[in-house]
Amino acid sequence: MRRWLPILLCLAAPLALAHEGMAMPKEPPLGATAAFDAHGRLWLVDAADGHVRLRHSDDLGKTLSPPHAVNAVPEPIYAEGENRPKLAFGPHGEFYVSWSQPRAKSWTGFVRFARSLDGGTHFSAPVTVHRDRAEITHRFDALAVDGHGRVVLAWIDKRDQAAAEAAGKPYLGAGVYYAWSDDGGAHFQPERKLVDHSCECCRIALARTPQGDVAAFFRAVYGDNIRDHAYAVLRTDGSTARAERATFSDWHIAGCPHHGPGLAIAADGIRHAVWYEASGKPTIWYGQLVPGQHAEHAQVIAGAGASHADIATRRNTVWIAWNQVDATGEALMMRRSDDGGVHFGAPATLANSAGAVGSPQVLLHDGRAYVAWNTAAGFRLVPAQAAP
């Protein structure tokens, strides 16, 4: 089934190991995260053979170094597009890596974290970030570092759904929880609930605000299974974080579409966002979020066959990339705006793949945009210059 179909109800088994003792896959899954460090070196994390593996490139992705294991002891790892290992850097060159670890029961997990203080050569033993250790969903982790150097992790969590079920009460979806570290990942504060009733398996998008906070944009559940999106700043100063509805597509679907949004916040504070909905027909939307209201400059970016969009912005330019099913397989597509998201140029094809592909990720480096694209034929870093 194509990933763009709107009714993926999270019934498929994980693409990585389901529990200890299962045979490890021969080939790595395609969920991967790429990032440029402060020196311009490209780094990539993905998963293979029970390890989160780290590689780097000094030639813009043409060649990659041999893989280095983040976790010395193999363990199950989710590594699909919506639930892939993550990588972020601290202000002093720290490496932070997170992932979700499947547990024995289906669709359960723990959020795991490891750090390196020596440029990725050695990593700490992985820790489970949350204090709740029930065998339920704690997964679809999202990782960011705020402007004060705090490590912030958010994830989808079903402890409140489990409690409601035990009490015989209804509970739609899951919740979103988050935790943070004030000491470079050595310890994490006890997790906090951001909101009840999130979608069960759509990724959470995180972005840093101009004030240095970390903001989250995620699919929530409103009313009777209306799957729109919410926006919140994840407070780490003791104040209460507040999530507000930010899209109003009114897509009614009794299940998770497995299709999370993207968020990029400009220096002027404009919240550029992309999201997917299929109320009538599959559509990728762009808009500038105004929490509590309809998004400004909302417009259709792509239609049927489009999936898993990502977004980045610099000054007055906005780039959006997505996967598009075509006659030969998958195409990597892009649209660009040079007026801050008011208008976008026509779609441009950046690359093609006859085999399976991962979710694209738009990266900025030295004033230029690239798309990190993990395919069955290997990882590619595709320049965005072909887009009009």
Residue whose pair of structure tokens reads 């999530």 in the numeric block: 243
Distance of alpha carbon 206 from alpha carbon 263, whole angstroms: 7
3 found inside a domain: no
DSSP assignment of 38-79, as one string? TTS-EEEEEEETTEEEEEEESSTTSS-PPPEESSSS------
Identify whether 243 is part of a domain: yes
Does position 13 have pLDDT exceeding 80, yes or no? no
Residue 24 belongs to a domain: no
pLDDT average, residue stretch 103-126: 97
SS3 10: coil
Quote the Cα angle for 315-321-326, to 5°.
155
Split at pLDDT 50, 70, 90, the class of 365 is very high
Q: What is the mean pLDDT of residues 327-334?
A: 94
> What CATH number is given to the structural domain containing 322?
2.120.10.10
What whole-number percentage of the chain has pLDDT above 90? 88
Out of 15-29, 197-211, 324-338, least confident range: 15-29
Q: How many domains does the chain have?
A: 1
**Considering the domain boundaries, does residue 213 fall inside one?**
yes
What average pLDDT does this structure show over 275-298? 95
Q: DSSP 3-state assignment of 161?
A: helix
Q: What's the confidence (pLDDT) of residue 28?
A: 54
Question: Which pLDDT score is estimated for 280?
Answer: 82
Contact 138/157 with Cβ under 8 angstroms?
A: yes
d(CA 211, CA 384): 29
* Average pLDDT, integer, range 78-84: 94
Residue 1 in domain: no
* Sign of the CA dihedral with 220 first, then 133, 13, and 362 last: positive
Strand 109-116 to 68-69 pairing: unpaired
Q: Is residue 21 part of a domain?
A: no
Summarize the confidence of residues 203-218 as an average pLDDT: 98
Instruction: Indicate the average pLDDT of the chain.
Output: 92
40: left (phi over 0), alpha (psi -120 to 50) or beta: left
Please compute the mean of the pLDDT values over residues 156-168 and round it to a whole number.
98
pLDDT by residue (tens digit) across 367-386?
999 999 999 999 999 999 75
Residue 61 covered by a domain: yes
| Cα angle for residues 143, 348, 326 (degrees, 5° grid) | 85
Confidence class for position 279, pLDDT limits 50, 70, 90? confident
Sheet holding 127-128, edge to edge: 86-89, 95-102, 109-116, 127-128
Is the pLDDT at 7 greater than 70? The verdict is: no
* Mean pLDDT computed over 43-52: 97
Predicted structure pTM score: 0.93
Residue 6 lies inside a defined structural domain of this protein:
no
Q: What separation, in Å, do the N-terminal and C-terminal C-alpha atoms of the chain show? A: 32
Range of the domain at 83: 33-383
E strand intervals along 222-328: 229-233, 244-245, 262-265, 271-277, 283-288, 296-302, 306-314, 317-326
Beta-sheet pairing, 192-198 with 205-208:
unpaired
pLDDT of residue 34: 98
Q: What radius of gyration, in Å, describes the C-alpha atoms of the chain?
A: 19
